[in-house]
Amino acid sequence: MFADNHSADKIPDTETVSAFRVSQIYVGVAITLPAFLLAAQIFSALGFVDGLITLGLAAIVLTTISACTMTVGARQRLSTYAIIYNVFGVIPAAAINVLLGLTLLGWFAVTVSLFADALSRSLSAVSGTAAPIPVLKAVGGLTMIGLTLYGFKLIDAVSRIAVPLMALVLIVAFFVILQGSDPETLISAEGTRDGISSIGTGVSISIGAFMVALTIAPDIARFLSSPGDGVQASLLSYGIGAPLVLILAGLPVLATGEADFVANLAASGLGWPALFIVVFATITTNVSNLYSTSLSFSQLSNRVPDYIVTAVCGVLGTAIALVGIETVFVPFLILLSIAIPPIAGVYLADAFTGAPQSQQAQSMRWRAVLSFGVGCTVAYAAMNGLVSLSQVAAIDGLVSAFLLQLMLCTFDREQRL
């Protein structure tokens, strides 16, 4: 009854879809409450012109990286877990996938809590009655689990319906909220420079917010029909869709002074659209989070069906949200997140050099482990201001891991020749 997630095997041709449909899923992931807050902070701090420049520059970087990771997924037709398994070897892959799974599970729990808080406020604005937050957490978490159990096909179906509707709501809300605002005053807004002091800082924060999603992009991109579709999907999602979402959700802060986009919707009399955005923005994002979480943990035992892994992970994440300790994890999750981009650096370099994969599983591939370790070290040093290559710790880690792995793969190939 439930989906086979193909956690360890290739996606068959019969299950592939178009680049447009995959891009809708990625845009759905970008339509999320934390992204709305990030966009508002950027425009509030940097103003109209610098805010647009920041999101434009971030989009260029994100599109470039996502084109690479999506192309690898489309070419190999494997999940991120399976790619890591081939590149790193059995033992490191197990450890890395647990790290990846724990990070995604933590963000799943945090998002469930954000969903419950925002939904409670929206229900209160619409009906005048606030629902108990623990109940909303439980209902929200169980709903997301139920949807994820049906795998990619249901994620695809939900995105095809919800994303166009959310885009329509965002566009209507954008013009309703800005109605009556002076365009010249809006365009000339300078920003407070509070928290985000420059375009470079804004670009860094924007890129960092999406780096984990780009690293695990093969989980969805493996359903693409061809490697060329990976480039198309990246352009449609991170090149066009995601930046537009951030502009629509963030720009109204310059007119209202309110960073909470949902609050702006409610204040403008759009209570039900606000409720719709809260529900479906969270579902499209968190279902994808749980889907990738289950793929990461599926490697612990091939005997456990995918749907059981999904259910257990979802229940655990919901329980964490119910207990209310997920906020304690946020600094820890941010720290873990710097270890994720180097994973992409390693598997991208491996794919770029066409490094041959042995038909027999190896316990450990030392060059991948070394490159990953160096990438994590550089990212951690960059986060603490000890080094600064690109001003973005996540990119510093990815690039350093990529370059070292590229060098080691090239040297190994020349040795064989």
Burial class (CB in 10 A: 0-12, 13-18, 19+), 379: buried
- For 126, the enclosing helix (H) or strand (E) is helix 90-127
How far is residue 214's CA from residue 369's CA, in Å, rounded to a whole number? Answer: 20
**Higher per-residue pLDDT: 414 or 296:** 296
Q: Is the confidence at residue 180, as pLDDT, over 90?
A: no
Q: What's the token pair of residue 210?
A: 């999406």
Give residues with Cβ within 8 angstroms of 79, minimum separation 6: 5, 6, 7, 8, 218, 219, 222, 295
At 228, is the pLDDT very low, low, confident or very high (cuts 50, 70, 90)? Answer: very high
Domain positions in the chain:
16-337, 338-417
Site of tokens 């990286």: 65
Of 111, 32, 36, which Cα lies nearest the Cα of 327? 111
Residues 51-85 as b or e (16 or more Cβ within 10 Å = b): bbebbebbbebbbebbbbbbbbbbbbbbbbbbbbb
Q: Is the confidence at residue 208, as pLDDT, over 80?
A: yes
- For 14, the enclosing helix (H) or strand (E) is none
pLDDT of residue 64: 96
Residues 287/144, Cβ–Cβ less than 8 Å: yes
Of 259, 191, 198, which Cα lies nearest the Cα of 40? 259
225 SS3 class: coil
Distance of CA 399 to the CA centre of its chain: 19
Residues 249/41, Cβ–Cβ less than 8 Å: no
At 355, is the pLDDT very low, low, confident or very high (cuts 50, 70, 90)? Answer: low
pLDDT of residue 387: 86
19-56 residue pLDDT tens: 999 999 999 998 888 889 899 999 999 999 999 999 99
How far is residue 350's CA from residue 69's CA, in Å, rounded to a whole number? Answer: 12
Give residues with Cβ within 8 angstroms of 40, minimum separation 6: 249, 250, 252, 253, 259, 260, 261
How far is residue 117's CA from residue 133's CA, in Å, rounded to a whole number? Answer: 6
Mean of pLDDT values over 295-324: 88
Give residues with Cβ within 8 angstroms of 193, minimum separation 6: 45, 46
Residues 375/397, Cβ–Cβ less than 8 Å: yes
Rounded (5°) CA angle 143-266-58: 75
Residues 346/409, Cβ–Cβ less than 8 Å: no
269-291 residue pLDDT tens: 777 888 888 899 899 999 999 99
Query: Which neighbouring-strand residues pair with 17?
Result: 224
Angle, helix 151-178 to helix 133-148, in steps of 10 degrees: 130
Say which range, 15-19, 91-95, 336-340, 403-407, has the weakest mean pLDDT: 336-340
16-337 classified as CATH 3.90.550.10: no
Q: Is the confidence at residue 384, as pLDDT, over 70?
A: yes
How far is residue 380's CA from residue 75's CA, in Å, rounded to a whole number? Answer: 31
pLDDT of residue 186: 86
At 397, is the pLDDT very low, low, confident or very high (cuts 50, 70, 90)? Answer: very high
